[in-house]
């Protein structure tokens, strides 16, 4: 089956456009997820800093019972999980769970960072609630060892929800971008293929014997150079054929006025043209040659 060059060019541009849009969407989605993750962790850090102000006096005074009640209340109001941990890793208060039933948290990555006086950040599976959670922990106090750690946490579903909304907007934008790329590919393919089709048509006319066929393009590229070269070749071939036709007419005029019989032979010794055939008919000298090698388009004499 014939494969048109337009289909091949357009398909190539369409595939490249699709790949470009997919790569763009993939990296944009990753970037958006990273931005959403940063926004979520900043919100958790802000909640931890707010809780730190109220927790520090109670922690420094050892008022553990009041501390647990305060943490529970602040966790509900902030809609986050709030945990207070002492320098040994013991959980003193938690807004979701009973601190007495919880493991030592000293080796938790976010808590370990906070115990060193730095902000701790982690996305991991909680061994207490058995679900993935995002954690932010900040130290209480400025010295080492620290007075304790305030940790906030929430489910990553918040992150997934934001990413889902961004994914929908990105899908719409990517679809519009791909449609624009397809339209551009269509216009570009037509711009590229149209002069090639015109050139093919002119070459077909030239091959059929129309040596006056020419192609003039209003562009400046390799296709224009090809068309100009073809036009120059066409003019040269047409000039050669006109020159050959004139010479043939001159020879016909000259030989037609000669009374003697004349034979034109090709390089293989075959008869190409006969002038003054009557002279051969009268003399019968070349009867056998004429009978064996009758030139194309020349009728036989009567009786041969």
Please tell me the distance from the alpha carbon of residue 157 to that of residue 266, in angstroms, as a whole number: 93
The pTM of this model reads: 0.53
For residue 53, being part of any structural domain is answered with yes
Query: Is the four-CA dihedral 32, 155, 105, 127 of positive or negative sign?
Result: negative
For residue 280, being part of any structural domain is answered with no
Please tell me the distance from the alpha carbon of residue 89 to that of residue 148, in angstroms, as a whole number: 9
Please tell me the distance from the alpha carbon of residue 125 to that of residue 128, in angstroms, as a whole number: 9
For residue 101, being part of any structural domain is answered with yes
CB atoms within 10 A of CB 105: 24
For residue 58, being part of any structural domain is answered with yes
pLDDT, tens only, 17-72: 889 888 888 888 777 777 778 888 888 999 999 999 988 888 888 787 788 888 98
pLDDT, tens only, 221-273: 777 777 788 788 877 887 887 887 787 777 777 766 666 667 667 777 777 66
Count of the separate structural domains present in the chain:
1
- The answer on pLDDT for 135 being more than 80 is yes
State residue 2's pLDDT score.
Answer: 46
Per residue, the 3-state secondary structure of 188-223, as one string, reads HHHHHHHHHHHHHHHHHHHHCCCCCCCCCCCCCCHH
For residue 139, being part of any structural domain is answered with yes
Enter the DSSP assignment of 100: G
Q: How far apart are the first and last CA of the chain?
A: 53
Read off the CATH number of the domain in which 132 is found. 3.30.450.20
Specify the DSSP element, H or E, that contains 135: strand 132-140
CB atoms within 10 A of CB 290: 22
**Host domain of residue 110:** 5-163
């Amino acid at each position: 089956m014939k494969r048109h060059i337009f289909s091949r060019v357009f398909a190539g541009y369409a595939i490249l456009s699709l790949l470009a849009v997919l790569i763009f969407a993939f990296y944009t989605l990753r970037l958006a997820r990273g931005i959403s993750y940063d926004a979520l962790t900043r919100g958790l850090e802000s909640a931890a800093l707010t809780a730190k102000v109220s927790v520090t006096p109670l922690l420094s005074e050892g008022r553990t019972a009041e501390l647990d009640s305060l943490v529970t209340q602040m966790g509900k109001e902030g809609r986050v999980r709030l945990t207070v941990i002492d320098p040994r890793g013991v959980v003193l208060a938690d807004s979701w769970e009973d601190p007495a039933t919880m493991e030592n948290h000293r080796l938790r990555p976010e808590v370990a960072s906070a115990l060193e006086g730095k902000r701790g950040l982690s996305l991991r599976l909680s061994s207490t609630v058995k679900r993935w959670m995002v954690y932010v922990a900040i130290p209480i106090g400025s010295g080492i060892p620290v007075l304790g750690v305030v940790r906030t946490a929430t489910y990553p579903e918040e992150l997934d929800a934001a990413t889902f909304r961004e994914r929908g907007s990105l899908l719409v934008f990517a679809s519009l971008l791909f449609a624009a790329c397809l339209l551009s590919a269509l216009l570009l393919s037509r711009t590229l293929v149209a002069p090639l089709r015109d050139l093919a048509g002119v070459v077909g006319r030239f091959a059929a014997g129309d040596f006056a066929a020419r192609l003039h393009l209003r562009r400046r590229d390799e296709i224009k150079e090809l068309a100009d070269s073809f036009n120059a070749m066409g003019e040269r071939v047409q000039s050669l054929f006109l020159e050959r036709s004139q010479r043939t007419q001159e020879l016909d005029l000259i030989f037609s006025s000669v009374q003697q019989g004349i034979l034109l032979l090709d390089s293989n010794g075959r008869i190409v043209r006969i002038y003054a055939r009557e002279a051969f008919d009268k003399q019968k000298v070349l009867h056998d040659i004429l009978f064996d090698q009758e030139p194309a388009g020349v009728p036989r004499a009567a009786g041969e």
